[in-house]
Structure formats: structure tokens, C-alpha cells
């Protein structure tokens, strides 16, 4: 009887938690205007805390499903990137690259205060460059935000993510070189993964719009085709041991340039996208170990302060040069606060591909991830509201 009861709990754990997360998120958003993704994370954290059977155990297929969910968001982020803007205002690209370098350097330096190994410090610094596309895009869509700060935040988020993946792959290559002494293996693991991921995403970004132009596809059909293409891309990336996240972002950027348009109603990929978003944030939160959260809270707070200060400082200093006011530069830096979902999946991906330090990194960064997951979307929401670029209506 006990065995049957335990099996029942394990079977219904995920559907039950996802339903509960959705209900709480809708209620909290309606009453207190809390970003829905924050509530999803809170439910996942509580599920992990009580060690709910079936939620905190390794279930085959869940990491893949989480990557599909985030890849859809990254495709949408890429689809909102206008490469012409970088040509007309190159300072946006410059700010993104400089801020990435400054963040990496500061986090690497500060993490040295905590007596961490060089490999771990490099990985933490590489991950800290990134902003969370899932958190930022979902909050922006939730608020129907559009304007100078919103577009700048989305473009800088894309730059941060690309640089973070590139630097992390270089760190992985450096680790392979140190452990195996094989320069060819180290170079191949880094250059191959980055180059091939971008190439596969770009090929799909050209092929899919070409296919859509061969016939008059209605708006809903366009959404389905892009969603299935992202699923194909993620599956292929897993099989070839590439980065599905980098490939999906590239796919979105190239598809945007091929002039096949998604309407506002198609953002978040409809009901399926909403469901995957609930799952993504609950899953990410459930990966955190509360014992690690407690021991890593001090370093987490310090790293968050340094990372946030870097992003705010760079955007503030370069505000006038890049064509915005100092106030908008400040709000742009604040809106880039979330980082956890993208970073955690990068760690999980690296672990699955045999990168041994990945497990220890997640343990060290657990406190940082928890705070970023819970508070990051709230900071983004407040920053966009303060920028007066939201278009939400009551009811």
C-alpha cells in the first residue's frame, strides 16, 4: 500500500505542481502585480524544500523539455533583434560587449575572495555575463512593454547571452586542455560547438522562411512551423552535442532578417508556450539544493551586488554616447538583473556533456541563483514600469 501511494505521488507530482504554480501566479499577479515567473519559481523552490516525491528526483526527458522551453524564448528574443539598429547605433553593441568584459573581470576578481579554484571562478564569471532571456522576455510580454529601454534591454540581453556561451565554451576548452593536455580536443570542443551551433541555427533561419514563402501560410500556421523548427533544432543540438540555446537565438535573429513576421498575438507561442514557461521556471527552481543555498548565500549576495553594479555602471556611463538619458541607462542596467534560468541550463548542459566542474558550480552559485530567480523578474518589471513603456490595461 505504501509503495502504491508513493508511486501515485511520483506520478502526479509534476502535473499537480504545475497546476498549483499557474493558479498561484495568476492570483498573485492579479492582487499584488507580482510577475508570474516569480510565482512559478517560488512554487518550484517550495516543492524542492519539502522534497516532493517525483519532483526532486531525476526524471528522464525533463532537461530536454526545459531546453525546448528556453529555446522557444531565445528564438523569440532573437526574432526581436534588429541588426540594422547596431549599424545605425553601434554604441549599443559596444556597450553590450564592454559591459560583458567588465562583468566577467569583476566577478572573477571578487570570487577570488572566497578561496575558490580558478576553474570555478572562470565558470562563475562566464555565467554572470548572461542575462535571463526567459525572465526578461516573459516580463516584457506580460507588460506589453515597448520603447527605447525595452528594446535596448532585449538587444543587450541577446549580446550578453551570446558572449556568455562563447566565454563558457572557451573555459570548457581550457579545462579540457588542463586535464587532458590535448590541445586539439580543447579547441575542437570550444570552436566546434560554438561555430556549428551558430551555423545550424543560421541554416534553419534561412530555410524555414523560404519554405513559408512558398505558400500563403496563415499566422497560426507560422507560429506552429517556428515552434516545430525550434523543437527540431533542440533535438538535433542534443544529438550533435551542440548548444541548443545558442542555435535557437541565431535561428531567431536570421529568421527576422528574412522578413517572416510574428504578430504580437503570437508572442510566447500561445498556450503551449505558456505551459512550457510554467514548467521551465518550476523545473529550474527544483534543481537548487537548499543546503547549498544556505552555505552559498553570502557569496551569492556579494556576486549579485557586483554584477548588478557592473551592468548599471556601464549603461549609465555610456548612456549619452548611445543616445539615451542617464535615467534610461540606469533603468536599462536594472532591467538586466535576471540571469538564473539561462545560466542554470548552461551548467546542466555542460554537465551532461561531461564537464565535471559543472556540478560544483551549481552548488557554489545556489544562493545567487535563488535570489536572482525570485527577485530578478520583479526588478525588471519595476524598471520597465518606471520607464513608462508598458501598455497593460486593467481587466
The H or E element that residue 318 is part of is none
- Residue 281 CA to residue 136 CA, distance in Å, equals 13
Rounded to whole angstroms, the Cα distance separating 192 from 165 reads 13
Minimum mean pLDDT among 134-143, 184-193, 257-266: which range?
Answer: 257-266
Name the least confident of 121-135, 143-157, 164-178: 164-178
| Residue position matching grid coordinates 586535464 | 179
The set of cell numbers assigned to 301 is 549576495
- Give the contacts of 80 (CB within 8 A, at least 6 positions apart): 151, 154, 252, 256
Q: How many CB atoms lie within 10 A of CB 265?
A: 10
Where would I find the beta strands (DSSP E) of 238-351? none
C-alpha 183/C-alpha 2 separation (Å) is: 54
Dihedral through CA 91, CA 96, CA 98, CA 100, nearest 10?
A: 180
Give CA–CA dist 66/28, Å, rounded: 24
Given pLDDT bands bounded at 50, 70 and 90, which one contains residue 180? low
* pLDDT (average), residues 234-243: 87
Please report which confidence band the pLDDT of residue 395 belongs to, taking 50, 70 and 90 as the band edges.
very low
Give the residue from 244, 216, 209, 213 showing the smallest Cα distance to 75: 244
2 — pLDDT class (breaks 50, 70, 90): very low
Break the chain into its structural domains and give their ranges.
14-26+37-48+64-386
Helix axes 90-111, 118-129, angle to 10 degrees: 150
Closest CA to 328 of 152, 64, 100: 152
Predicted confidence band at 340 (pLDDT cuts at 50, 70, 90)? confident
Task: Say what percent of the chain tops pLDDT 90.
Answer: 51
Q: Determine the topology of domain 14-26+37-48+64-386 in CATH.
A: Na+/H+ antiporter like fold (1.20.1530)
- Write down the residue that cell numbers 547549498 correspond to: 292
Provide the angle, in degrees to the nearest 10, between the axes of the packed helices 366-386 and 270-286: 140
330: closest CA among 303, 312, 349, 348? Answer: 312
Q: Per-residue pLDDT averaged across 104-110, rounded?
A: 96
Nearest to 334 by CA among 152, 204, 202, 70: 152
As to burial, measured by CB atoms within 10 angstroms (0-12 exposed, 13-18 middle, 19+ buried), residue 248 is buried
pTM equals 0.93
Look over the chain and give the mean of its residue pLDDT values, rounded to a whole number. 86
Amino acid at each position: 500500500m505504501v509503495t502504491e501511494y508513493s508511486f501515485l505521488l511520483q506520478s502526479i507530482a509534476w502535473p499537480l505542481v504545475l497546476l498549483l504554480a499557474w493558479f498561484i501566479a495568476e492570483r498573485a499577479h492579479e492582487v499584488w502585480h507580482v510577475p508570474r515567473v516569480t510565482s512559478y519559481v517560488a512554487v518550484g523552490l517550495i516543492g524542492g524544500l519539502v522534497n516532493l516525491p517525483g519532483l526532486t528526483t531525476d526524471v528522464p526527458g525533463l532537461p530536454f523539455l526545459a531546453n525546448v522551453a528556453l529555446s522557444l524564448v531565445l528564438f523569440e528574443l532573437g526574432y526581436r533583434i534588429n541588426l540594422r539598429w547596431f549599424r545605425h547605433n553601434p554604441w549599443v553593441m559596444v556597450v553590450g560587449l564592454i559591459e560583458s568584459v567588465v562583468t566577467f573581470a569583476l566577478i572573477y576578481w571578487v570570487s577570488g575572495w572566497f578561496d575558490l579554484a580558478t576553474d570555478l571562478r572562470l565558470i562563475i564569471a562566464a555565467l554572470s555575463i548572461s542575462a535571463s532571456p526567459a525572465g526578461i522576455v516573459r516580463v516584457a510580454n506580460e507588460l506589453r512593454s515597448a520603447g527605447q529601454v525595452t528594446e535596448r534591454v532585449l538587444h543587450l540581453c541577446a549580446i550578453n547571452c551570446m558572449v556568455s556561451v562563447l566565454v563558457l565554451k572557451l573555459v570548457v576548452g581550457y579545462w579540457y586542455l588542463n586535464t587532458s593536455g590535448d590541445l586539439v580536443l580543447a579547441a575542437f570542443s570550444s570552436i566546434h560547438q560554438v561555430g556549428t551551433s551558430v551555423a545550424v541555427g543560421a541554416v534553419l533561419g534561412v530555410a524555414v522562411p523560404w519554405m513559408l514563402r512558398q505558400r500563403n501560410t496563415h499566422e497560426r500556421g507560422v507560429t506552429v512551423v517556428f515552434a516545430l523548427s525550434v523543437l527540431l533544432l533542440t533535438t538535433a543540438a542534443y544529438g550533435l552535442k551542440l548548444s541548443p540555446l545558442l542555435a535557437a537565438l541565431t535561428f531567431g535573429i536570421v529568421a527576422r532578417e528574412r522578413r517572416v513576421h510574428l504578430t504580437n498575438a503570437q508572442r510566447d507561442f500561445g498556450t503551449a508556450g505558456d505551459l512550457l514557461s510554467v514548467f521551465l521556471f518550476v523545473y529550474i527552481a527544483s534543481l537548487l539544493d537548499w543546503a547549498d543555498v544556505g552555505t552559498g548565500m553570502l557569496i551569492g549576495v556579494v556576486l549579485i551586488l557586483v554584477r548588478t553594479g557592473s551592468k548599471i555602471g556601464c549603461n549609465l556611463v555610456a548612456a549619452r554616447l548611445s543616445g539615451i538619458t542617464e535615467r534610461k541607462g540606469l533603468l536599462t542596467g536594472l532591467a538586466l538583473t535576471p540571469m538564473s534560468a539561462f545560466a542554470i541550463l548552461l551548467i546542466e548542459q555542460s554537465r551532461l556533456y561531461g564537464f565535471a566542474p559543472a556540478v560544483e558550480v551549481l552548488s557554489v552559485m545556489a544562493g545567487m541563483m535563488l535570489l536572482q530567480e525570485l527577485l530578478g523578474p520583479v526588478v525588471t518589471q519595476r524598471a520597465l514600469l518606471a520607464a513608462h513603456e508598458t501598455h497593460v490595461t486593467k481587466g
